[in-house]
A = this chain, B = another copy of it.
Amino acid sequence: MKLLKIGMVGLGRLGKRHAENLALRCPGAKIEAACSLDPVERAWAKTRLGVEDLFEDFSAMLESADIDAVFIASSSAFHTAQTVAALKAGKHVFCEKPMGISVQECLAVEEAAEVRPNQVFMVGFVRRFDPSYRYAKEMIDAGAIGEPFLVRSQTVDLDEYAAFQVGFVPSSGGIFLDMNIHDIDLARWYLGDEVESAYAIGGSFVHPEFAQVKDADNTCALLKFASGKMADLSVSRTAFHGHDTHTEIVGTKGILKIGMTPAKNRVEIFDLHGARVPCVKDFYERFEEAFRAEAMAFVECALNGDAPIVKARDGTEATRVGFSLAESFREGRIAIVRR
């Protein structure tokens, strides 16, 4: 069996989960080296995963580790530089979203990836690997709902994480770039078209701190695509029932809805509170299987030389629309999205 030797970059909360998936649930993958600024995280890689080749410095790992691929889950600010360096060093690269913290950064990645068609580059739009989102895509491609013309999609987080998120707004780019970016990618994927104009409204209805950093805790947005198709996107940071990502695709012959109730599993409870469904707590609980499938897809593309279903350009375009939404929200006008 062929093995893909991987250098893992970043071992924070999400990085750890990526690393466990690669090490324990992705046949064909081997974490050969890992890189983290934090000695505790490096120790974890050794103890938990048996990784021996550990680095504090990314460049050092790139130079000296025996790796075919780099899997980047570091802080967003490093994504572009690490991706471009790894591509230049001849490695396959998986990069968590965002691909860059500006459209310019994204374009740099796009360029570096395009000139190396034999290396796999993939950006982490994890929802595309969720079994339900994939099933919907297959149904649409098979004509089940005719021609899709409207995507409604929302990303909703538990309120208990909101206070913690305020501090991340400057580096994450705020609600549109950090959260809606997944919905933007889904809308582009399902509609097969590019966004022409964007309009967003929002407010800090529960946590006024977001207003102070010119962000919001709840937003609504409309996208108009080149063909006239539409997307209706929302974000909420203030849910109490669970992480509630759901998406609806409206076509000329029918509608698909994905995940309308964010059920934790197949259990229902009937008690004093009524008939109820326990809900997933966070994006990782909701997309656990998708994260595994995403890692596996990267490994298989790299081993087999296949093209991934998420390309650098998808990262650029979603980022471009995200910035347009942020601009529309801040300036109170329709933003034109130009390529």
Task: Report which A residues bind B (CB closer than 8 A).
Answer: 1, 23-25, 27, 50, 131-132, 135-136, 139, 144-145, 147, 149-150, 152, 199, 201-203, 205-206, 218, 220-222, 224, 228-230, 232, 234, 236, 238-242, 244, 250, 252-279, 332-334
> Are A266 and B50 in contact (CB-based, < 8 A)?
no
Does A236 contact B250, Cβ atoms closer than 8 Å? yes
Stoichiometry, copies per complex: 4
Give the nearest-CB partner of A276 in chain B. B276
User: Cβ of A236: which chain B residues have Cβ within 8 Å of it?
Assistant: 250
Choose from B1, B203, B275 the contact partner of A277 (Cβ within 8 Å): B275
> A271 touches which one: B25, B241, B258, B268 (CB < 8 A)?
B241
Q: A205 contacts which chain B residues (CB < 8 A)?
A: 147, 149-150, 228-229, 252
Cβ-defined contact, B274 with A242, below 8 A: yes
Q: Which of B239, B242, B264 contacts A135 (CB under 8 A)?
A: B264
Q: A268's closest neighbor in chain B, by CB?
A: B257
- Known A1-B50, A218-B250, A234-B232; judge A267-B257 contact (CB<8 A): yes
Residues of B within 8 A of A274 (CB): 241-242, 269, 273, 276-279
| With known contacts A241-B255, A254-B240, A271–B199 Cβ distance under 8 A | no
